[in-house]
């Protein structure tokens, strides 16, 4: 099996020019309350915001095709595809660019964030096929990875460095017996990176076992934005300090020390009784009880061409978060979209989007 590295492919950073963005329409009522109607409105708002800056493709089941078409702006392309849920970051391919500017993609084996040991649902077979189908539609070269992983578990700087949380990347529920060296070798071969910067834990309560995309991201090479908490009573207080110590003590693939920018965390939020009561009970592994803390973070945003599409929660921290993004990305328009309904499903705007890089071939 030829790996992307052997074939000369690398994953571009999210800030490189995009051909467009891929999303998946929410539908399953055991994750999205009230038959997914409020989530569908939120996903439509995200798609409309991104579509101002780059083409958007929405993947949707046959059952929901007419409804999605009616709810989405005309400029959003709606394409039928079977899935188990709606997390394009994780079940979609991580796109690569190869020699002469050709498109490729990593097809990560997917097990619903932990398989039968703590995974969120069964079956996940349709989700596991999404990356291959995206690469069929785009005629990109497909590289099936040898280890289970998700796109939300990585952030690359485009200059040879990737960020990952140990809690996720070394979790036995993805790859039994996996070692740090195994994962580093795999990331090197499939993303074209030379350096993995490990952070120990992700945002407390994140049901992905610590996806980096909810905790931290590269803003540009050498600069990492970190979700930060100043309340010693909050479990994220320790997590954010430990992450900052790791990041500040690391050097990237080019030998640079990282600058860490703190992004304030939103005030604690939890499922209301009404929200939890709107979710269909099933035997899935998704825990959705009233009062349960939501893993909210402002770092879970999408970089579109010329814009940052960022979550807002209707709380007092929305404005400071917007200010941080505006300062960090002076050449991009910051567009905040109300994202609580996405958060109720366990993720946020970065988790429901997947960029396809612009290619020259």
Residues forming the site for ligand KQY (CB under 6 A): 31, 87, 89-90, 120, 152, 207-208, 211, 213-214, 345-347, 351
In whole angstroms, how close is the CB of 128 to ligand KQY at the nearest point? 15
> Which strands form 302-304's sheet, in the order they lie side by side?
302-304, 307-312, 333-338
The rounded distance, in Å, linking the Cα atoms of 340 and 347 is 10
Q: What is the dihedral of CA 305, 311, 316, 321, to 10 degrees?
A: -40
The rounded distance, in Å, linking the Cα atoms of 199 and 182 is 17
Whether 58 and 353 have beta carbons less than 8 Å apart is answered as no
Nearer to ligand KQY, 7 or 126 (CB): 126
CB hemisphere CA count around 335 (13 angstroms): 21
Q: Which of 38, 53, 37, 33 is nearest to 310 (CA)?
A: 53
In whole angstroms, how close is the CB of 6 to ligand KQY at the nearest point? 28
Nearer to ligand KQY, 40 or 359 (CB): 40
In whole angstroms, how close is the CB of 120 to ligand KQY at the nearest point? 5
In whole angstroms, how close is the CB of 149 to ligand KQY at the nearest point? 11
Nearer to ligand KQY, 24 or 76 (CB): 24
The rounded distance, in Å, linking the Cα atoms of 50 and 297 is 19
The pair of structure tokens assigned to 335 is 């567009």
Which sequence positions are flagged as catalytic?
351
Nearer to ligand KQY, 38 or 98 (CB): 38
Q: Which residue is nearest to ligand KQY (CB)?
A: 152
The pair of structure tokens assigned to 126 is 């349709």
In whole angstroms, how close is the CB of 249 to ligand KQY at the nearest point? 25
Nearer to ligand KQY, 64 or 214 (CB): 214
């Amino acid at each position: 099996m030829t790996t992307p590295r052997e074939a000369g492919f690398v994953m571009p950073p999210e800030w490189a020019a995009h051909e467009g963005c891929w999303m998946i329409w929410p539908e399953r009522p055991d994750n999205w309350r009230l038959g997914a109607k409020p989530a569908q409105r939120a996903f439509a708002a995200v798609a409309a915001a991104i579509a101002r800056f780059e083409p958007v493709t929405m993947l949707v089941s046959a059952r929901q095709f007419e409804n999605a078409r009616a709810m989405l702006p005309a400029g959003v392309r709606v394409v039928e595809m079977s899935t188990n849920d709606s997390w394009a970051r994780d079940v979609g391919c991580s796109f690569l660019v190869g020699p002469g500017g050709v498109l490729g993609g990593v097809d990560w084996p997917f097990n619903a964030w932990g398989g039968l040991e703590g995974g969120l649902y069964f079956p996940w077979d349709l989700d596991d096929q999404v990356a291959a189908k995206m690469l069929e539609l785009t005629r990109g070269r497909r590289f099936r990875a040898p280890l289970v992983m998700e796109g939300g578990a990585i952030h690359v700087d485009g200059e040879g460095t990737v960020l990952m949380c140990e809690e996720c990347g070394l979790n036995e529920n993805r790859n039994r017996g996996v070692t740090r060296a195994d994962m580093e070798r795999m990331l090197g071969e499939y993303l074209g990176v030379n350096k993995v910067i490990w952070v120990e834990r992700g945002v407390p309560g994140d049901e992905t076992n610590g996806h980096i995309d909810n905790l931290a991201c590269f803003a540009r090479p050498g600069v990492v934005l970190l979700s930060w908490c100043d309340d010693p009573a909050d479990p994220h207080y320790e997590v954010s300090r430990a992450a900052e110590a790791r990041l500040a003590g690391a050097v990237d693939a080019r030998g640079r020390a990282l600058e860490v920018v703190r992004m304030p965390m939103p005030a604690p939020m939890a499922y209301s009784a009404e929200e939890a009561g709107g979710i269909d009970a099933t035997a899935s592994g998704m825990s959705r009880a009233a009062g349960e803390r939501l893993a909210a973070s402002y770092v879970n945003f999408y970089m579109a061409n010329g814009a940052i599409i960022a979550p807002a929660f209707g709380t007092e921290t929305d404005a400071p978060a917007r200010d941080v993004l505006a300062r960090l990305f002076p050449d991009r328009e910051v567009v905040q979209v109300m994202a609580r309904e996405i958060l109720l499903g366990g993720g946020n705007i970065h988790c429901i989007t997947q960029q396809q890089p612009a290619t020259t071939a």
